Amino acid sequence: MTPKTDQTTRGRGPTYASRAPAPAPLPTDAAHRNPGTPLELDWVRAARVNRSAVERRAATLGTRRSVKKEWQAAWLLRAVTLMDLTTLAGDDTEGRVRRLCGKARRPVREDLLDALGVPLDDVRVAAVCIYHQMIPAALEGLRGTDIPVAAVSTGFPHGLSPFETRLAEIRASVEAGAREIDIVITRRHVLLGDWETLYREVRAFREACGDAHMKAILATGELAMLRNVYQASLVCMMAGADFIKTSTGKEAVNATLPVGVTMARAIRAYAERTGHAVGFKPAGGIRTAKQALQWMILMKEELGTAWLSPERFRFGASSLLADIERQIEHHVTGRYSAFHRHPLA
């Protein structure tokens, strides 16, 4: 099912500082990776963000558009395919990871998909995200599928282990079979405006990833200002990040819509300037189907439909899946079910 918006709710264009122009055509080759560019310090240092305008823009995402009935069901099924189904707990076990992988293979109950006329194999998550130690269990649980394993790395969640240790951790995860690596940046480089050091760090991480796609986690809740978020986004993309990601999920403040608008605008600016498309991953605190729809609307309005694919957009999610499945059951049966009827694994 292809997501569509309710045509009766189309409104005027978004406002951002002054009225924002319609998004320019952006790269459409989903298989294209971001090779990075040389560091452009003048561009980074000249960046400005109007916080009040960003917050006004973010506030419209849940009010200007609504998605109802069969269109809502289609958007929610698409949201499932955009998930990095995640477990990053200190008490993770191999058994828990294998159960998570079982849910990744069949994220929505078969009877609900049958009622919607959707083939069972058309709905699967984008990836399973785990710690390095759990890669063998994840690979076992996903055997026979093409669902990639994503491993968090570089001293996750704080990124304060020795630099060579962080590089070795990336290489070990790639060698163990991870096809995606979620790295964390050193926040102090952003807070001190040390863009050269941040660029060299992320570039080294990118080289260590080899063929594995790299997601750069900014930990935006610890970056103090939206301008810092925008500048860090630019530097990480210049250094070759295939995705930029809001949060580890361990900060006091994780993914917020104003941060999402800021990072999406950075992605657009980078694509227009370089021709390279970069993905976006909000993570932490996204627990309801309503929130997922808001983030998807943000992507569609700011970057276009091409960013509603797992090659360009991911949710870092665990409990979100249960609420989405619950909303899909309501669409099919007309009744809301209890959360315990939709366990994660």
Would you please indicate which residues are annotated as catalytic (active-site) residues? 182, 245, 281
**Residue 30 vs residues 26, 89, 242, 310: alpha-carbon distances, Å:** 11, 32, 11, 9
**HSE-up (13 A, CA, CB side) for residue 341:** 12
Q: In the structure encoding, which two tokens stand for residue 122, read together?
A: 């058309």
End-to-end Cα spacing for the chain: 25
The three-class DSSP label of residue 61 is coil
Nearest one of 249, 241, 281 to 264, comparing CA atoms: 281
> Residue 268 and residue 275: Cα distance in Å, rounded?
10
Q: Cβ atoms within 10 A of the Cβ of 334, count? A: 7
Helices 69-81 and 289-302 meet at what angle, rounded to 10? 80
**Residue 31 vs residues 84, 171, 215, 278, 309: alpha-carbon distances, Å:** 18, 23, 15, 11, 11
Range list of H helices, the chain: 41-46, 51-59, 69-81, 94-105, 110-116, 135-141, 163-176, 187-191, 195-209, 226-238, 257-274, 289-302, 320-333
